Structure 1
Amino acid sequence: MSSNPNLPPGQHEISTFPRFGLLQFAYRYPRDTKTIKISITGGNDKSTVVADALMQLPRVKQVSDFHCVTTWSRRGLTWSGFRFRDFYTEILKPLFPGENVGFILLKGQDGYRTSLPLEDLLAEDVLLADTLDGKPLTVEHGAPLRLVAPSHYGYKNIKHLDRIEIRSDGNLDISSGFRFMSHPRARVAHEERGTGVPGWMLRILYRPLVKPTIRRFQKAMTSYDESNTEKPLDE
């Protein structure tokens, strides 16, 4: 049961939206937080870099909830960006005509990677987002571009997105964590937290890790901010 009837099974609401993830990524940061570009590779190994074309797509804004697999949820986030559906129809599909697309492999500048079935990515609420609550994304939340897939746990909502691979695999699940920690679809409504372990059991395993993980990522962000703050010149 969730602690709030308006939340999915096993989730509880928090008032903040912390930087969060696998511990090994706490001190990994994007190389470029300003330039939005995506390198796209298909089954024929053809590679194309997309930048300006993405900005020509219709811009949309949506309010949606974010559900972390470790049981916390942040409600009512306002994202702006481009529908993945439009990105696929107008950019991906024409680049690889006739390609039998099963899954899409997504990679971030920090080395993180995950995947989702194409059918899930084509949902109306899946975005390639570049703003949060009316402001450009920061390093903390995925600058310069991230995936927003509200129906899927946070580990599918990749940050610092810069590479996409089209895959024809029928049952592909590629992620940066241990296999039991990942599910090919990770649908929140079905509590698909992982593979081979019941969702309710993963709740118990994950909950004690939330606070120490938040602290580690906060410490990492402090380190990042200090190293990227311009020091005044000596007079």
Structure 2
Amino acid sequence: MPDWKKLIEGKIAIAKRGAKPSKANANERIPAGQTEVKNFPTLDLGIRPQVTTDNWSLRVYGLVEHEIDINWAQFQAMPQVTEVSDFHCVTRWSQLDMDWQGVPAREILAMAAPLPAAKHVTLHGYDGYTTNLPLDALLDDDVIIAHSVLGGPLTAAHGGPVRIVVPKRYAWKGAKWLKAIELHEFDRPGFWEVRGYHNEADPWREERFSDD
């Protein structure tokens, strides 16, 4: 079993190197403090759950009119889109023009019909990971619940069979191995947020840590 304390401290230390305001990039599409890569690095908590298209499902619950539970066949039968967006990791790399395939998050949320009191969401991964966002952030037209990227299915290392991608936030706000979307009234900080990461995670403001 991994030493979680050392693992978490190590990840934070890597991300915090030079964490104060950075010089702007020559490429205006890349936020300050980021370096462009083309190899799509992998980062996780050291747990890769045994989830496949046979046993995957997505639950949407909490403050909704209709709790839903979508299996792989149902997910594949929904209208599919390709969303091209840039991907920014808090550990200071960015990859441009990533072509995600899947279903817009707002379409799945519409099926559940959020109640008026629903203002926030918690995204749950099959690895036990959680992260939080305002509900409005998931309703953006570029947020996608994805099963494929760069011309092929998501690998387990990249959160396959399904992850959520939230391009306007640092990538930790997009849960890998997506298991559930929980809607609630009040904000609930997730795994990294309670460990010192910024609650909003806007890469254009370099919102990496809560004390920035």
Q: TM-score range by the shorter chain?
A: 0.7 to 0.9
The residue aligned with 2:27 is 5
The residue aligned with 2:112 is 92
Does 2:154 correspond to 1:137? Answer: yes
Shift in Å at residue 180 of structure 1? 5.5
Measured in 1, the distance between the counterparts of 2:48 and 2:103 equals 23
Name the aligned partner's letter for residue 177 of structure 1.
W
The residue aligned with 1:42 is 62
> Relative to 1, partners in 2 of residues 1:181 and 1:17: Cα closer, same or farther, differing over 3 Å?
farther
1:32 aligned to 43, 48, 51, which one? Answer: 51
Measured in 2, the distance between the counterparts of 1:165 and 1:57 equals 21
Runs ≥4 residues deviating over 4 A = none
Name the aligned partner's letter for residue 150 of structure 1.
P
> Relative to 1, partners in 2 of residues 1:181 and 1:33: Cα closer, same or farther, differing over 3 Å?
farther
Shift in Å at residue 43 of structure 1? 4.1
Name the aligned partner's letter for residue 9 of structure 1.
A
Alignment map for 1:65-80 (pairs within 5 Å)? 65-80=86-101
The residue aligned with 2:103 is 82
Shift in Å at residue 144 of structure 1? 0.9
Shift in Å at residue 65 of structure 1? 1.2
Unaligned 5+ residue runs, structure 1?
A: 199-235
> Relative to 1, partners in 2 of residues 1:150 and 1:144: Cα closer, same or farther, differing over 3 Å?
same
Deviations 1:7-65 (A, max 9, x none): 112111122111113xxx12x11221224411232148x85422254334321102211
Unaligned 5+ residue runs, structure 2?
A: 1-22
Q: CA RMSD in A?
A: 2.2
- TM-score, normalisation: structure 1: 0.72
Q: Percent identity?
A: 32
Report if the CA contact (8 A) 2:25-2:31 is conserved: no
| Rg larger for | 1
Does 2:37 correspond to 1:14? Answer: yes
